[in-house]
């Protein structure tokens, strides 16, 4: 039986070193043979295509498909697909100072449930070892959602891996390059879980009811015209409220929700009083939440759902690449779910420090990992409170060694909802006080409250 390696390590190195002048070879792993039985007849080599053949095959496939059914993210076709050209992600942007690029991509297509464990193991093993990738990858029966950082010399090898895989060949769109580049993750984590936490059953037929995707320049022009004609044009920010704090499009409304599931219920309420043919504009970080939300709305009869292709990430690149001085409809920062916690689109600061109230748009997490409160903190408050939320226990634990923290283990302070709601836990003095919360709001916040009181008593 073959191992689970999808692309042999020597091949990856060869592709990288010779700029893909050599043919792309692939062999199927047990998961792939189970997922795509038709490909199992060739025990070791599934296909062998030169770079030019890859390009020709992709062009032929695009020409054969009616434009009305083209989609950058949805692939309804079952079975192995013709690989795409290995240079499709070029031109590459300028790499970060540490040599890393940050990018994301997602795609909706069928992956048999039985193939997921083997596929997850292959990605975890080969992407981390062969390609030195770090990031967060979700796979499920409906496709893949990936955010990652990779060194420049490994980008083409990553595309080669994808196009040589029976699971992903021909199905992964161009990488959505970040606005700012550096290593954004500590390690690689690959999980089998829903691509977006919708809270309801969501199959490929529903996801196939896609919204209309607008490229950044097209989005900008159409949105300007729509808002000029009708100031009440519905523009929905499909992100969480804390993301909205530091950056947003002019005229956008962001439902006061902590999860995508809750937000969808509120979006349905926003749309309820409108005609089913009235345009609904929506945007998010990289596009996947709008793809899902737009598909749900279209499946419920809303015929004119329009989204920003590539999300704020793509729009931010558009703003930076065009002539200087051109106005941006997005103001502030784009929040990111990685170590960066944000990337600048414009220099405007829309938010305030949660501790002192001064202008600031820099998110951080409390240095006490058991607290991990997500809040905005200016440099002065970070120095004053030792990069914590200011609670005495958190300050104390921030100064502990790793061994001391292990010896004095502490459970999580907040549940998810409170961890992202600093306005509910900070006092006027800029100190987070879990003991002030009601029982419904706190997870084990009383532990910090009691410990803080003990520390106060000891110092008295």
Question: What are the residue numbers of the active site?
Answer: 284
Cβ atoms 114, 34 nearer than 8 A:
yes
CA neighbor of 219 nearest in space, from 107, 307, 125, 289 = 307
CA neighbor of 127 nearest in space, from 108, 103, 97, 92 = 103
CA neighbor of 106 nearest in space, from 271, 264, 291 = 291
Cβ atoms 310, 219 nearer than 8 A:
no
Sorted by sequence, the CB contacts under 8 Å of residue 205 that are 6+ apart come out as none
Q: How far apart are CA 270 and CA 263, in angstroms?
A: 10
CA neighbor of 184 nearest in space, from 99, 243, 260, 122 = 99
Residue 209, Cβ neighbours under 10 Å: how many?
Answer: 16
Task: Specify the 3-state DSSP secondary structure of 75.
Answer: coil
Q: Hunting for tokens 């916040």 — which residue is that? A: 445
The verdict on whether omega for the bond into residue 57 sits within 30 degrees of 0, i.e. cis, is no
Q: How far apart are CA 301 and CA 33, in angstroms?
A: 39
Cβ atoms 169, 81 nearer than 8 A:
yes
Q: In what order do the strands lie in the sheet with 330-334?
A: 247-249, 330-334, 343-344
Token pair recorded at residue 314: 């793509």
DSSP assignments along 284-333, one per residue: -SSSHHHHHHHHHHHHTT---EEEETTHHHHHHHHHHHS-TT---SEEEE
User: For the packed helices 155-164 and 9-17, what is the interaxial angle rounded to 10 degrees?
Assistant: 130
């Amino acid at each position: 039986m073959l191992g689970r390696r999808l692309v042999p390590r020597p091949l990856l190195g060869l592709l990288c070193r010779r700029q893909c002048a050599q043919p792309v070879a692939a062999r199927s792993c047990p998961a792939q043979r189970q997922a795509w039985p038709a490909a199992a007849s060739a025990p070791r080599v599934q296909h062998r295509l030169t770079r030019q053949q890859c390009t020709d095959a992709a062009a032929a496939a695009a020409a054969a498909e009616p434009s009305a059914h083209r989609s950058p993210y949805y692939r309804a076709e079952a079975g192995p697909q013709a690989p795409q050209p290995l240079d499709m992600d070029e031109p590459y942007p300028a790499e970060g100072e540490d040599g890393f690029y940050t990018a994301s991509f997602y795609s909706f297509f069928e992956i048999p449930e039985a193939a997921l464990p083997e596929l997850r193991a292959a990605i975890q093993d080969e992407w981390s070892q062969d390609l030195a990738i770090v990031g967060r990858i979700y796979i499920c029966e409906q496709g893949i959602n990936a955010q990652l950082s990779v060194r420049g010399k490994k980008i083409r090898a990553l595309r080669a891996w994808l196009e040589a895989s029976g699971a992903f060949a021909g199905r992964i769109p161009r990488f959505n390059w970040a606005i700012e580049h550096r290593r954004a993750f500590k390690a690689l984590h690959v999980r089998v879980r829903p691509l977006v936490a919708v809270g309801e059953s969501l199959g490929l037929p529903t996801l196939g009811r896609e919204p209309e995707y607008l490229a950044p320049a097209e989005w900008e022009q159409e949105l300007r015209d729509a808002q000029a004609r009708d100031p009440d044009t519905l523009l929905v920010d499909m992100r969480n409220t804390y993301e909205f704090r530091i950056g947003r499009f002019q005229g956008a409304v962001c439902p006061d929700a902590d999860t995508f599931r809750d937000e969808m219920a509120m979006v349905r309420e926003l749309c309820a009083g409108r005609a089913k043919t009235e345009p609904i504009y929506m945007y998010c970080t990289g596009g996947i939440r709008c793809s899902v939300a737009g598909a749900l709305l279209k499946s419920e009869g809303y015929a004119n759902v329009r989204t920003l292709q590539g999300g704020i990430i793509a729009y931010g690149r558009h703003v930076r690449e065009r002539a200087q001085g051109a106005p941006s409809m997005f103001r502030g920062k784009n929040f990111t779910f990685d170590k960066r916690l944000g990337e600048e689109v414009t220099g405007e600061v829309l938010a305030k420090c949660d501790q002192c109230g001064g202008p600031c748009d820099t998110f951080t997490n409390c240095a006490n990992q058991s607290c991990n409160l997500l809040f905005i903190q200016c440099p002065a408050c970070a120095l004053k409170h030792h990069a914590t939320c200011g609670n005495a226990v958190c300050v104390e634990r921030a100064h502990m060694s790793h061994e001391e923290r292990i010896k004095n283990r502490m459970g999580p302070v907040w549940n998810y909802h409170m961890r992202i709601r600093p306005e509910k836990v900070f006092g006027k003095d800029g100190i987070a006080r879990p003991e002030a919360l009601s029982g419904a709001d706190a997870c084990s916040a009383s532990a910090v409250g009691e410990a803080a009181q003990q520390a106060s008593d000891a110092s008295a």
